[in-house]
Structure 1
Amino acid sequence: MLSGGGGGGGDIQEVQAVELFVGLAGTAARFLTALCAAARGGVYRIDGIAQMRKRPMRGLIEALRTLGADIRCTGEEGFFPIEIHARGLRGGPVTIDASESSQMLSALLMVAPLADAPVEVTIAGGVRWPFVQMTTRLMEHFGQPAVQRLADDRLRVVSGHPWGLQAAAAGGRRGERNAVYAIEPDATAASYFLALPLVTGGELDLPGLRGPGGGLQGDTRFVSVLQRVGAVVTETEGGGGGGLHVAFSVEKLAGGATAGGTRTGVTENFNEFSDTFLTLAAIAPLLDGPTRISGIAHTRKQETDRVAGMARELRRLGQHVIEEEDSLEIHPRPLLAGQEIETYGDHRFAMSFGILGCHDLHGDGRSWLSIKDPACCAKTFPHFFELLESLREKSSEA
């Protein structure tokens, strides 16, 4: 294990021969790789399941090597498994290509304060800035000076400042040992329930969730997309910082037909909040007119090829889908009942199609859609389907 040092608050104590298995967790893979490389000593072997060995790591590995890390790829170069012979980071100039995952840049930024000298980062290729900005703002909350933006593609991180929760962020006094840091509700996980009223009709509250620009998370932009589709979203007040209220009116007619508000297909570039694109794609069969989703080429290298997988499953349900390298265009067709959705071990497939499955296709409450391996959502939301069922029960009682 890794532990903080005494007075420094950010020093990493030397440990030996640590085996770390991250499964399919890309965030853990990148953050732990950077953290272990910043250690002053020890050997760290990091690996994951077969799909994790295909996920992008090269940009981070090469950047850490530039800063003095000894990282050895024991399989294919640039991928897991890796073995790190830690000796700290020297600091200085470094270039990183984080176009395939902003997590690589975030990982580098978070360990840069542990280097022997300031780190000046040049960004090669594009990066999804909302996630980087979330990282730098959190670094400030935990005691680091603001990351300096030297140019559009250059950042500077000073070193030598101890990590520690700031008084303003904790709502207490600086240096208070038992300060509490309030973590925002997960905006990506909330995307499924934000979309639910568009599928079933009705309304729900998401306490503590903030709208676009109201918190740290870029994925709150999905709220604006759903408003264009037809959802009515309002901010609420109350204890715990308020939240969001989401509503959509659907009236059931004879023969399973519905009437009420209009659900409109939209065109949206999801490059900067791409974890939510599957939610919109899954409910696109219910919308009036085509839905075009772009900016998603990088998601082909996530838990699975999300672009190809989504196209395949929507076609399984009878939809007309135009798939391109960076986009999907979904033209609604009558949904086919009795199909089983393949999740590819990807939690977001299970949850997105779980929301579509709440649509009353037959008009009498009968189930019509099956999801293979729903337990894969345990990666980020283990009680997702239990929570969804509790909402069904509450709506039945209302």
Structure 2
Amino acid sequence: MNVHLTFNSQPATRNRQLSITGSKSETNRLLLLQALYPNLKLENTSNSDDSEVMSKALQNAQPLTLNPQLVDVHHAGTAMRFLTAYFAMQEGKEVVLTGSARMKERPIQILVDALRQLGAEIRYEEKEGFPPLRIKGKKISKSKVSLPADVSSQYISALLLIAPKLEHGIELTLEGKITSVPYIQMTLGLLNEIGVKTSFTRNTIKVNPQPATRNPQTITVESDWSSASYWYSIIALSEIGTQITLSSYKKNSLQGDSALVQIYKDFGVETIFENNSILLRKSSNPQPTTHNLQLNNSPDIAQTIAVTCFGLGLGCRLTGLHTLKIKETDRLEALKNELTKLGAVISVTNDSLILESYSPPLEGSPKGGVAIKTYQDHRMAMAFAPLALKVPIVIEEAEVVSKSYPTYWDDLKSIGFTVSEL
């Protein structure tokens, strides 16, 4: 499904309110913990495809049979990593964990090697180092493991999440400079919330064992800050005075993407925390300068920021983006390809993106709208949509947003965007 997006006038300055679904990152972590501790009750969970896949896989896993159960996570990278660790310690279960064609191109050897250090029984079904994986669950008694510190935090979190149910917990040594620290801290924070003792000192993380079933406990998932990023972009690209309220958000968030609050100040967006919600208001026009941002701890908002800067005619230099090369697509190359269509002067390396200031922005764009390819990447679709405030935009394969934000197009319609299927 392709959609044509337009906006004939700026959003009204009256306050509009939207409820954003629970954080995908928090939900997927808590779903795994709920599988380990069944008395854990979750509220405001994400309705994303990724979380649905994760939940289904955890609920439908069968005991060991003659033929291993096939578990297909499709495009859900988080589910692939977390479930690899989960099934490795499920005694009496054997699965073949697979996914989409793109998933079979996404490396997982670092996590598999770490689990094998602990004694897990995992083998590759096709290409060495990549899914699909054949996993035979067994009791894991080893506790010391190490892996490179600059890898995807999901590898690290996968190990930490299963740690409290291992006989001796885990002592994880991270070798080198650590990236995506907020996501590691999120995992540890959620473990602490359910009563698991942890420590994170220098490059060593320890998680104590907690084998007993917990007393009943309810955790409400905070709404997703990555999803909020697109609304920050919309406000930044709007007239002064435009505002919108999003719920439910915490000032002291576990999510690294809450860095949006500080980052978007430079784009004229003010954030006001009030009654478990955030009010976003366009309070000023940004200064014509090049914005230098280190996004090592929040790479998922890089696409949104790059598109915002382009829409405002600003330059930016975004660094710390090496993990974007192995996402749903190579996000850096995808950004370069699609922003170039709109007239951007942009360059990328293995871990950075440089966008030159462009004034006036979007001059000469075709009236029918430039077609933006999404590369089966939900964040490409959602990051480019706010540009419809400036010029017509066509988003190809628009249904891909269901991966993390299924109601995105409906929410855009609710504030005045015209979203037409082509």
TM-score by length of 1: 0.83
Residue pair 2:237, 2:312 contacting (<8 A) in 1 also: no
Residue pair 1:59, 1:98 contacting (<8 A) in 2 also: no
Q: Which amino acid aligns with 1:142?
A: I
Q: SS where residue 322 of structure 1 aligns?
A: strand
User: 292, 315, 321: which is aligned to 1:290?
Assistant: 315
- Map of 2:371 onto structure 1: 340
User: 213, 216, 227: which is aligned to 1:189?
Assistant: 227
Given the alignment of the two structures, is residue 375 of structure 1 paired with residue 399 of structure 2, yes or no? Answer: yes
User: 243, 251, 264: which is aligned to 1:203?
Assistant: 243
Q: SS where residue 200 of structure 1 aligns?
A: coil
**1:170-319 matches, cutoff 5 A:** 175=215, 177=216, 179-201=217-239, 202-211=242-251, 214-236=252-274, 238=275, 241=276, 243-248=277-282, 261-262=285-286, 264=288, 265-319=290-344
Given the alignment of the two structures, is residue 360 of structure 1 paired with residue 390 of structure 2, yes or no? Answer: yes
1:328, CA displacement in angstroms? 1.1
Q: SS where residue 340 of structure 1 aligns?
A: strand
Q: Distance in 1 between matches of 2:287 and 2:370?
A: 24
Residues 48/322 of structure 1: CA separation in 2 closer, same or farther (3 Å cut): same
Residue pair 2:114, 2:146 contacting (<8 A) in 1 also: yes
1:385, CA displacement in angstroms? 0.8
1:121, CA displacement in angstroms? 0.9
Q: Which amino acid aligns with 2:120?
A: A
- Map of 1:365 onto structure 2: none
- Map of 1:350 onto structure 2: 381
* Bigger Rg, structure 1 or 2: 1
Q: Distance in 2 between matches of 1:5 and 1:209?
A: 27
Q: Which amino acid aligns with 2:331?
A: R
Q: Distance in 2 between matches of 1:268 and 1:120?
A: 33
Q: SS where residue 206 of structure 2 aligns?
A: strand
Q: Distance in 2 between matches of 1:360 and 1:8?
A: 49
- Map of 1:157 onto structure 2: 207
Q: Which amino acid aligns with 1:227?
A: K
1:98, CA displacement in angstroms? 5.2
Q: Distance in 2 between matches of 1:8 and 1:88?
A: 22
Residue pair 1:196, 1:355 contacting (<8 A) in 2 also: yes
**1:99-178 matches, cutoff 5 A:** 99-125=150-176, 126-145=178-197, 147-149=198-200, 151-162=201-212, 164=214, 175=215, 177=216
Q: Distance in 2 between matches of 1:95 and 1:180?
A: 33
1:196, CA displacement in angstroms? 1.1
TM-score by length of 2: 0.79
Q: SS where residue 212 of structure 2 aligns?
A: coil
Q: Distance in 2 between matches of 1:344 and 1:384?
A: 18
Q: Distance in 1 between matches of 2:132 and 2:417?
A: 45
Q: Which amino acid aligns with 2:329?
A: T
Residue pair 1:98, 1:104 contacting (<8 A) in 2 also: no
Count of residues in correspondence between the two structures:
354
- Map of 1:69 onto structure 2: 120
Residues 52/116 of structure 1: CA separation in 2 closer, same or farther (3 Å cut): same
Q: Which amino acid aligns with 1:281?
A: A
Residues 247/73 of structure 1: CA separation in 2 closer, same or farther (3 Å cut): same
Identity %: 29
1:129, CA displacement in angstroms? 0.9
1:332, CA displacement in angstroms? 3.6
Q: Distance in 2 between matches of 1:5 and 1:153?
A: 26
Unaligned stretches of 5+ in structure 1? 165-174, 250-259, 362-367
1:193, CA displacement in angstroms? 0.9
Unaligned stretches of 5+ in structure 2? 1-31, 41-60
Residues 5/54 of structure 1: CA separation in 2 closer, same or farther (3 Å cut): closer
Q: Distance in 2 between matches of 1:153 and 1:222?
A: 27
Residue pair 1:113, 1:157 contacting (<8 A) in 2 also: yes
- Map of 2:410 onto structure 1: 386
1:263, CA displacement in angstroms? 5.6
Residue pair 2:332, 2:353 contacting (<8 A) in 1 also: yes
- Map of 1:255 onto structure 2: none
Q: Distance in 1 between matches of 2:85 and 2:339?
A: 38
Q: Distance in 2 between matches of 1:102 and 1:203?
A: 34
Given the alignment of the two structures, is residue 26 of structure 1 paired with residue 77 of structure 2, yes or no? Answer: yes
Instruction: Supply the RMSD in Å over aligned alpha carbons.
Output: 2.4
Q: SS where residue 220 of structure 2 aligns?
A: coil
Q: Distance in 1 between matches of 2:336 and 2:211?
A: 48
1:8, CA displacement in angstroms? 10
